[in-house]
Every structure is written in structure tokens, then in C-alpha cells.
């Protein structure tokens, strides 16, 4: 009997231990009364908004290549642009090239031939995203000594700006096509716009080649003594070589474009709108700071609002992107490559040069 009670006691203890050991497993497998995968009763998050803009270091050349960006710079300062632009107004292409090479600038307006040269020298370090200006060069001379043709420059001294960039290569090409040796037949003196202005106003130069708005400013300062005679854009078109004179463009650092494709797309949208505003004749009649001439002067792109107002219609502002951009500028590069391969860094850029969209 004692043995039976002992046996029952041991069995009872074992049963208790077994029940205690099974407890956690049962709790783990018993369905919870709290929903797990069901939607929360808390309000869902609001639909995602459009991506915020980026901080972009933008370089703009003074002169015609920078004119189209004036409204964009104003909108950025006013907080009305998608991207925010930390901009620098540069005096020449060399400053822009240095900034792009060092990474100081993300996007920049620059001469088209310089863009190709930088692409070749940097082994693909930049991409071209838009064309922004067509031909803007003019030959000026004394009001009492007109010239009608480029051949009329034979034997004369011509002061000019743009050595090593589009202006030099365009001038050399057009002179040769008109039977004039740019080295032996014309004494070309290269200088800054200010140096050319001084030489012309003091009578040290017979004629000059300048882009607008520098050409416009010179005419105004001369008080009728100096006139604009020859448009190099018209001379280019007269050759019917199947290309278009495309002097200015916008490039983006390749690394920046790869890491921020949407920011580049947003820039192009805002830049297109800016150019549309700046090239609209109505913008020249707006009162106040949004007057196109006032904008250009305010950002140091032209010497004064009065000069800018006269020059803007001659700046041939455009915003050509995508496949149209590639087709347009490749024709121009082909002409330059045939005339002087060094003008574009030795070779026409390959397809990787073109930013065709995100």
C-alpha cells in the first residue's frame, strides 16, 4: 500500500513538470487576440510628395551664354525654384573648365567647342545637356568705312575676343571659306572685351569682332561712330554646309548626372522656362526687377540694363535638348573637326557625351 502511494506521488510530480514544460509552447502557438498583419487603425501616411530639389553649384558665363539663366537665378534667390542654385558668374571659359574639373561646379554654361574639348581631355568627365545660344558674333567698324563682306577685311587689323574658343574657330573657318587667310591676310589681335572696346574707341583698331552684348555696348559708347556690319551667323548660314552655328551649351559633370539624374531633369525644365522668359519680347517691357534687361544687369551678365535690353533680341537664345541637341551640335562639330580638330579636343565626342534624360 505504501508503495502504491509512493508511486502515485511520483506520477503526480512528473505530470506537474510536464504541464509546466508545455506551458510556453502552448502560449506561443495560441493565436493572439491582437491583430498582427491587419492594417493599423492609425491613419496611413500621406502620399509621397514630389522629390525635393537638390543643391546645385551652377556656373554661368557673363555675356550671351549666361543671358538665358537670369530668370532662373532670380527664382532661385526668391525660393521659387525646385532646385536651389549656388551660382557663380564667370568671366571666361577657362574659369568654368577649372571649376568643372575640380568638382567645384556641377552644371555650367560654356562654349560648345570647349565642352567637347573638356570631354575629350577628362575622358568623359562631362556631358552636354542642352544648347543655349546660337550665333552671337558680329564684325563692327567705323561708320564711315563700312564693310559688307568678310573679304573686305583683307589687309586690315581686326581686334577680337575669344581666342582658343568658338569665336576664333568660327572666324578662322569663315575667313578661309571666303578666300581670306586668317594669318596672312588679316592682322588679328586677340584681347578681352574691355581691351577691344578701348582699342576701337581710341581709333587703334580698324575693325573688331565681338559677341553681343559687348558689341551692343560698343555701339552705344561710340555715339554713332561705330556700327555693326556683318553677322557671322548669317555668313555661316550662307555657306549651306548642313550645320548650324551653335556657340553655347550647358554641361553637367558626369558623376553628378549619374548620381542625381532627376535633379538634372528638374534643372533642364527650369532652365527651359527661364530661356523662354528671357527670349520673350514681352519680358523687356515688364516693370521692375523682372524686366529681362534689369535681370541680366542685376546678375552682372551685361554691363547695364539699357545695353542688355538692346542685346537680348540678338542673343539667339534656345534650349535644345535630347536627340535634337545631339543632331544639331554634331553637325557643328563635324565642320570644326574638318577645319581644325584641335578646336574640339582632337575628335568629335562619342555618344556617351550626350545627356539624353534620366
Dist CA 168 CA 8 (whole Å): 113
Task: Reduce the DSSP state of residue 291 to 3 states and report it.
Answer: coil
Residue with cell 569663315: 174
Average pLDDT for the chain: 86
Backbone phi, then psi, for 13, in 5-degree steps? -65, -45
Kindly provide the residue ranges of all beta strands, DSSP E only, lying in the chain, ordered along the sequence: 55-61, 84-90, 107-111, 126-134, 137-142, 157-160, 187-190, 207-211, 226-231, 246-253, 317-320
Q: Which residue has the higher pLDDT, 352 or 32?
A: 352
CA angle 130, 131, 134 (to 5 degrees): 170
Please tell me the chain's helix, strand, coil percentages from 3-state DSSP, rounded to the nearest 5.
50, 20, 30
* DSSP state, residue 128: E
- The tens digit of pLDDT for each residue in 234-276 reads 999 999 988 899 999 999 999 999 999 999 999 999 999 999 9
Length, in residues, of the chain = 358
CB 261 within 8 A of CB 355: no
Backbone phi, then psi, for 122, in 5-degree steps? -95, 5
For the chain, give the percent of residues with pLDDT over 70: 85
For the chain, give the percent of residues with pLDDT over 90: 75
pLDDT exceeds 60 at position 4: no
- The tens digit of pLDDT for each residue in 16-52 reads 333 344 443 333 333 333 433 433 333 334 333 344 7
pLDDT exceeds 60 at position 183: yes
What would the grid cell of residue 243 be? 550645320
- Neighbour count for residue 241 (Cβ, 10 Å): 15
CB 129 within 8 A of CB 250: yes
- The tens digit of pLDDT for each residue in 224-237 reads 999 999 999 999 99
- Give this prediction's pTM: 0.80
pLDDT exceeds 90 at position 288: yes
pLDDT the model gives residue 358:
67
Backbone phi, then psi, for 58, in 5-degree steps? -115, 130
pLDDT the model gives residue 28:
37
Tell me the DSSP string of 144-186: TS---SGGGGTTSEEEES-TTSHHHHHHHHHHHHTT--TTTT-
Exposed, middle or buried, 228 (CB in 10 Å: 0-12/13-18/19+)? middle
Give start and end residues of each alpha helix (H) in 162-260: 166-177, 193-201, 214-222, 232-239, 254-259
pLDDT exceeds 70 at position 95: yes
Domains and CATH numbers, the chain: 55-135+245-353 (3.40.190.10), 137-239 (3.40.190.10)
**Pairing between β-strand 226-231 and β-strand 137-142 as defined by DSSP bridges:** antiparallel
Backbone phi, then psi, for 343, in 5-degree steps? -65, -20
Distance of CA 86 to the CA centre of its chain: 14
Amino acid at each position: 500500500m505504501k508503495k502504491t502511494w509512493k508511486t502515485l506521488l511520483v506520477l503526480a510530480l512528473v505530470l506537474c513538470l510536464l504541464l509546466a514544460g508545455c506551458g510556453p509552447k502552448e502560449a506561443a502557438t495560441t493565436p493572439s487576440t491582437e491583430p498582427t498583419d491587419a492594417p493599423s487603425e492609425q491613419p496611413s501616411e500621406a502620399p509621397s510628395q514630389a522629390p525635393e530639389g537638390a543643391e546645385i553649384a551652377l556656373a554661368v558665363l557673363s555675356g550671351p551664354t549666361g543671358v538665358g539663366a537670369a530668370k532662373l537665378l532670380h527664382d532661385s534667390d526668391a525660393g521659387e525654384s525646385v532646385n536651389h542654385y549656388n551660382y557663380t558668374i564667370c568671366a571666361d571659359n577657362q574659369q568654368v573648365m577649372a571649376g568643372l574639373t575640380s568638382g567645384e561646379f556641377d552644371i555650367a554654361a560654356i562654349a560648345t567647342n570647349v565642352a567637347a574639348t573638356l570631354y575629350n581631355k577628362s575622358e568623359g568627365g562631362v556631358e552636354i545637356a542642352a544648347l543655349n545660344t546660337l550665333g552671337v558674333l558680329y564684325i563692327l567698324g567705323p561708320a564711315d568705312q563700312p564693310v559688307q563682306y568678310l573679304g573686305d577685311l583683307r589687309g586690315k587689323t581686326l581686334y577680337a575676343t575669344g581666342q582658343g574658343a568658338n569665336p576664333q574657330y568660327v572666324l578662322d573657318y569663315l575667313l578661309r571659306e571666303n578666300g581670306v587667310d586668317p594669318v596672312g591676310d588679316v592682322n588679328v589681335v586677340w584681347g578681352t572685351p574691355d581691351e577691344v572696346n578701348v582699342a576701337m574707341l581710341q581709333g587703334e583698331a580698324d575693325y573688331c569682332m565681338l559677341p553681343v552684348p559687348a558689341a551692343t555696348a560698343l555701339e552705344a559708347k561710340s555715339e554713332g561712330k561705330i556700327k555693326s556690319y556683318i553677322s557671322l551667323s548669317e555668313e555661316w548660314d550662307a555657306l549651306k554646309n548642313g550645320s548650324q552655328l551653335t556657340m553655347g551649351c550647358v554641361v553637367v559633370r558626369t558623376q553628378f548626372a549619374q548620381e542625381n539624374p532627376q535633379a538634372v531633369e528638374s534643372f533642364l525644365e527650369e532652365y527651359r522656362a527661364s530661356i523662354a522668359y528671357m527670349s520673350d519680347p514681352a519680358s523687356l517691357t515688364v516693370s521692375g526687377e523682372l524686366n529681362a534687361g534689369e535681370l541680366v544687369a542685376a546678375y552682372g551678365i551685361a554691363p547695364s540694363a539699357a545695353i542688355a535690353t538692346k542685346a537680348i533680341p540678338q542673343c539667339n537664345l534656345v534650349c535644345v535638348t535630347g536627340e535634337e541637341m545631339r543632331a544639331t551640335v554634331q553637325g557643328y562639330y563635324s565642320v570644326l573637326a574638318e577645319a581644325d580638330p584641335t578646336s574640339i579636343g582632337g575628335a568629335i565626342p562619342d555618344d556617351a557625351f550626350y545627356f539624353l534624360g534620366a
